[in-house]
């Protein structure tokens, strides 16, 4: 009879971030278990569009994380089955006015200095790039590194990869407690089915990351930020890239709790067009908002008039895990030895998942991190730390 190795880590969360943590940890030789109170990709991941973006990141830690992830996604696209629908289609950001274009150009210049590929597109060439764009736009910028993936399938395949390396994957098993030893260090988790012992616990619980942190006795101010997506009937490939208005970047970085909408439109390999994006902090209110859906549809048709007569066949919404400074929490929590965080990515978790998973695997092993973890320190919101 085979005896399973003792666990090195328990990963809480079977979304794409937790799946990436399991993939890289297992591949590095760690013995891990993944638990989630719901199904694989049952939270934010299953409600995402699958964006893998560098275009909406300004120079700094998040952009470094995005560039690393972009390279890792390319490798995963070759390693994982084609069903994850990885598509390196690039992005196009468009500006409606001269002022908006000037701001976009300044942003792109800084991004290029940080390693992003960004190519200006003049007003007269925009429809060469996207033939169905509305006339009269001031110009734009093409980002070849932007890509897309089917997020739920990607999470599932990453977990299958981890399982092939020996990981336990246990969906439908809620964690109800974090186990601590006599010195206060983590020694596993208690679930509704029993205990899983391990010297490391990874909080990849997404929007519920704050609640999970509280089980360990620490504060991590993750809040839900609701967003809606409209899905059209299947169409011929009318839209070649991910296309969004320049104002989208400001909405992403805003700290406002109020409703914000800006047009984001992209085609998919299977035919439907996805339309977003909205952001608002309304707690976990799952009420469908007809006014928000109407605003998204109006903005999309203003950007692409060809969509005016296209049917929307469904809409869905989810909750992005928001942290106040718009950076995720990644790495060890010095307040509780053995506790690691991998959450708070807001709307960028799918894109940033591989880099996060790699960094967590390195941190659990005690290896030198590929990127500086200081900007993502989980304890940075601790009132005592700020006062000091």
pLDDT in tens, 44-71: 999 988 999 999 999 999 999 999 999 9
Handedness of CA 162, 167, 168, 173 (dihedral sign): negative
Q: Alpha helices, DSSP H only, in 165-256?
A: 209-215, 247-253
Which among 266, 318, 281, 324 has a CA at the least distance from the CA of 53?
A: 266
Strand ranges in 80-174 using DSSP code E only, listed in sequence order: 91-95, 119-122, 139-143, 147-148, 168-171
What is the value of pTM for the model shown? 0.95
* Spatial distance between the Cα atoms of 16 and 249, rounded to a whole number of angstroms: 23
pLDDT in the model for residue 90 = 97
Architecture, CATH, for domain 91-144+223-322:
2-Layer Sandwich (3.30)
> What does the pLDDT look like over 98-146, one tens digit per residue?
999 999 999 999 999 999 999 999 999 999 999 999 999 999 999 999 9
Helix axes 151-164, 61-79, angle to 10 degrees: 70
9-50+151-222+325-387: what CATH class? alpha beta
The Cα–Cα gap between 115 and 93 comes to: 18
The domain segmentation of the chain, as residue ranges, is 9-50+151-222+325-387, 91-144+223-322
What pLDDT sits at residue 388?
42
> Using an 8 Å Cβ cutoff, are 186 and 216 in contact?
yes
Edge-to-edge strand order for the sheet containing 194-197? 175-180, 186-191, 194-197
Q: Where are the alpha helices (DSSP H) in 275-379?
A: 290-303, 349-365
Q: What is the pLDDT of residue 49?
A: 87
Is the per-residue pLDDT at 386 higher than 60?
no
Q: Are 23 and 357 in contact (CB under 8 A)?
A: yes
Residue 342 Cα distances to 36, 44, 154, 263, angstroms: 14, 14, 17, 29
In three-state secondary structure terms, 118 is coil
- pLDDT for residue 269: 86
Asked if 126 and 140 touch (Cβ cutoff 8 Å), the reply is: yes
Q: Which pLDDT tens digit goes with each residue over 139-184?
A: 999 999 999 999 999 999 999 999 999 999 999 999 999 999 999 9
pLDDT in tens, 312-354: 999 999 999 999 999 999 999 999 999 999 999 999 999 999 9
Q: How many CB atoms lie within 10 A of CB 223?
A: 18
């Amino acid at each position: 009879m085979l005896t399973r190795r003792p666990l090195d880590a328990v990963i809480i969360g079977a979304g794409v971030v937790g799946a990436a943590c399991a993939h890289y940890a297992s591949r590095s030789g760690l013995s891990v278990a993944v638990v989630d109170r719901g199904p694989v990709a049952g939270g934010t991941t299953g409600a995402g569009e699958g964006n893998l973006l560098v275009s909406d990141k300004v120079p700094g830690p998040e952009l470094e994380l995005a560039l690393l992830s972009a390279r890792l996604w390319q490798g995963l696209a070759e390693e994982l089955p084609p069903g994850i629908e990885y598509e390196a289609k690039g992005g196009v950001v468009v500006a409606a006015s001269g002022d908006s274009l000037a701001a976009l150009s300044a942003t792109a210049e800084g991004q290029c200095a940080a390693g992003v590929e960004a190519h200006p597109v003049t007003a007269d060439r925009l429809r060469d790039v996207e033939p169905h764009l509305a006339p009269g736009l001031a110009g734009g910028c093409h980002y070849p590194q932007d890509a897309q993936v089917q997020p739920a399938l990607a999470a599932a395949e990453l977990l299958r990869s981890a399982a092939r390396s020996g990981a336990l994957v246990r969906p439908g098993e809620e964690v109800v407690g974090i186990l601590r030893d006599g010195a206060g260090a983590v020694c596993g988790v208690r679930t509704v089915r029993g205990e899983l012992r391990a010297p490391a616990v990874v909080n990849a619980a997404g929007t519920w990351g704050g609640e999970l942190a509280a089980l360990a006795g620490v504060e991590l101010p993750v809040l839900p930020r609701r967003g809606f997506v409209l899905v059209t009937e299947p169409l011929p490939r009318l839209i070649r890239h991910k296309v969004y208005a320049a104002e989208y970047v400001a909405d992403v970085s805003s700290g406002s709790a109020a409703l914000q909408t800006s047009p984001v439109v992209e085609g998919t390999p299977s035919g439907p067009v996805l339309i977003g994006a909205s952001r608002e902090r309304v707690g976990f209110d799952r009420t469908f908002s007809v006014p928000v859906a109407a605003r998204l549809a109006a903005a999309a048709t203003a950007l692409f008039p060809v969509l005016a007569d296209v049917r929307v066949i469904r809409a869905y919404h989810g909750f992005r895990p928001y942290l106040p400074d718009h950076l995720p929490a990644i790495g060890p929590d010095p307040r509780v030895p053995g506790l690691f965080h991998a959450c708070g990515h807001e709307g960028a978790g799918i894109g940033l998942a591989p880099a996060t998973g790699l960094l967590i695997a390195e941190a659990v092993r005690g290896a030198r991190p590929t990127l500086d973890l200081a900007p993502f320190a989980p304890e940075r919101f601790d009132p005592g730390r700020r006062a000091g």
